A and B are shown apart, each in its own frame.
Chain A
Amino acid sequence: MSDERRDILKLSRDWLPVQDVVDAVSSASCGSISVFIGTTREDEVDGRKVVGLEYEAYELMAQSEFIKLCGDIRERWPTVTHICVHHRLGWVMVGEASVVMAISSPHRHDSQQAINHCISQLKANVPIWKKEVYDTQEASWKENSECPWAAVAEG
Chain B
Amino acid sequence: GQQSAIDPSPLPNREKKKRQRKKRKRQQQLSSYGSADEAEVKCAEAAGSFMTSQVFVFYFAKSVELTGVKQEEVTAVPTPISSRDLWNLLVQRHPRLSILQGQVVLAVRQQYVDIGDQVVTLGDGDEVAVVPPLSGG
The finding on whether chains A and B are genuine partners in a shared complex, rather than unrelated, reads: yes
A residues contacting B by CB (< 8 A) are 38, 55-58, 60-62, 64, 87, 98-99, 119, 122-131, 141-144, 146-147, 149-151, 153
| Minimal beta-carbon separation of B116 from chain A (angstroms) | 12
Is the interface on chain B under 10, 10 to 19, 20 to 34, or 35 or more residues? 20 to 34
Other-chain contact of A128, B62, B105, B114, B136 (Cβ < 8 Å) = B136
B31-68 with Cβ < 8 A to chain A: 58, 60-62
The complex places the Cα of A130 from the Cα of B12 at a distance, in Å, of 73
Residues in B whose Cβ lies below 8 Å from that of A127: 60, 107, 129, 131, 134, 136
Q: Chain B's nearest CB lies how many Å from the CB of A25? A: 18
Q: Residues of B contacting A131 with CB < 8 Å?
A: 61
Cβ-defined contact, B104 with A57, below 8 A: no
Q: How far is the CA of A122 from the CA of B105 in the complex (A)?
A: 17
List, in ascending order, chain A residues with CB within 8 A of B58's CB: 58
Interface pair B136/A99, CB less than 8 Å apart: yes
Q: Does A122 lie within 8 Å of B136, measured CB to CB?
A: yes
Main secondary structure of the interface of B (DSSP, over half): loop
* Residues of chain B whose beta carbon lies under 8 Å from any beta carbon of chain A: 58, 60-62, 102-105, 107, 110, 114, 127, 129, 131-137
Question: When chains A and B are docked, how far (Å) is the Cα of A7 from the Cα of B49?
Answer: 46
Closest 8 CB pairs of A and B: A128-B136, A150-B133, A143-B133, A129-B61, A142-B135, A61-B110, A147-B134, A123-B137
B110 / chain A contacts, CB cutoff of 8 Å: 58, 60-61, 64
CB neighbours (8 Å) of B132 from chain A are 129, 141, 143
Cα distance A61–B58 in the bound complex, in angstroms: 12
With A64-B110, A128-B136: A149-B61 Cβ-Cβ less than 8 Å: no
Complexed CA–CA distance, A146 and B137 (Å):
11
User: Would you call B103 and A150 a contact (CB within 8 A)?
Assistant: yes
Contact B135 A128 (CB under 8 A): yes
Tell me if A141 and B136 are in contact (CB < 8 A).
Answer: no
- In the assembly, what is the distance between CA of A146 and CA of B129, in Å? 20
Separation of A10 and B136 alpha carbons in the complex (Å): 13
Q: How far is the CA of A142 from the CA of B61 in the complex (A)?
A: 9
Closest partner residue, chain A, to B114 (CB atom)? A149
Instruction: Note all chain A residues with C-beta closer than 8 A to B102.
Output: 151
A117 CB to closest chain B CB, in angstroms? 12
